[in-house]
Each structure stands twice: as structure tokens, then as C-alpha cells.
């Protein structure tokens, strides 16, 4: 497992999520409102993370369950750190940032973060199944 590659994939994820957030804010939020747009954003963001992980899994060289989970954990730590520093930079109150993680307030980020943690494992297993299915044919 190569840490620099895991972090490199994270930079791609965060760049895609940043563009996604800008597009969401400019085009979706005015139509359906901020809260609903952020909820939908978790689903779309998770799909983006899955696609990027699918494309980068082999390059990361995270072959074992432990390595895959470690990669996801690194992504989670970097993402949460990035989000809170960005939120502070943009002047968002801590209560708003935490609300995104509070399921009782409709926040779904906790699910997105959990998905990010396990997506390297999921992608690796799906690729292994796909590979073994192709070999059977």
C-alpha cells in the first residue's frame, strides 16, 4: 500500500466533491433549498467517490482488507479536516457544519463518511467478484 497514492486519490475525490458542491450550490440549491440539496449531495457525492475509488483501487495497491480500510480511514480523516477548515474559512457556524452529521436534523453526511470509509473494501470485493465471474465464462 502506498500512502502517497492513497492521498493522491483523496485529492481527486476532494476536487470532484468541490466542483460538485459548487454546482449544487449554484444550480440545485436555488430550486429545492439548501437542506434538501445537501441531502441529495451526499448521495451524488457517494457515487462520485465510488467511481473514483473504482478507477484508482489498483493504483493505490491496497490489496488486503486492513490496507483498504486504512485507505478509507485516511480519506475520512482528511475529508472531515478539510470540510471543517473550509467551513470555518467560509464563516459557517460550527452548529451548521455539525448539523450535516446529525441524523435527527436530517443530516446525512455521517452516512457519506461511513460509505467513504468502506468504499475501498467494497470496490475491491466487487472487482474481485467481477474478475472471478469473467474467469468462469
**Which tens digits make up the pLDDT trace of 30-62?**
999 999 999 999 999 999 999 999 999 889 989
Please give the grid coordinates belonging to residue 57.
483501487
Cα 94 to its chain centre, rounded Å, is 21
Domain count, the chain: 1
28 located within any domain: yes
135 located within any domain: no
pTM above 0.85, yes or no: yes
80 located within any domain: yes
User: Can you give the residue range of the structural domain that contains 25?
Assistant: 3-129
Whether residue 12 is predicted with pLDDT greater than 80 in this model: the reply is yes
Distance in angstroms (rounded) separating the CA atoms of residues 48 and 126 = 16
76 located within any domain: yes
Burial of 45 (0-12, 13-18, 19+ CB in 10 A): buried
Residue labelled with grid coordinates 468504499: 119
Amino acid at each position: 500500500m502506498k500512502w502517497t497514492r492513497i492521498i493522491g486519490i483523496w485529492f481527486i475525490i476532494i476536487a470532484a466533491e468541490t466542483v460538485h458542491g459548487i454546482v449544487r450550490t449554484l444550480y440545485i440549491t436555488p430550486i429545492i433549498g439548501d437542506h434538501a440539496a445537501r441531502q441529495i449531495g451526499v448521495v451524488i457525492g457517494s457515487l462520485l467517490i465510488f467511481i473514483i475509488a473504482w478507477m484508482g483501487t489498483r493504483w493505490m495497491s491496497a490489496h488486503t482488507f486492513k490496507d483498504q480500510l486504512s485507505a478509507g480511514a485516511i480519506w475520512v480523516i482528511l475529508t472531515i479536516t478539510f470540510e471543517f477548515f473550509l467551513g470555518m474559512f467560509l464563516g459557517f457556524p460550527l452548529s451548521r457544519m455539525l448539523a450535516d452529521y446529525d441524523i435527527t436534523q436530517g443530516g446525512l453526511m455521517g452516512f457519506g463518511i461511513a460509505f467513504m470509509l468502506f468504499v475501498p473494501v467494497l470496490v475491491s470485493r466487487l472487482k474481485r467478484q467481477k474478475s472471478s465471474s469473467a474467469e468462469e465464462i
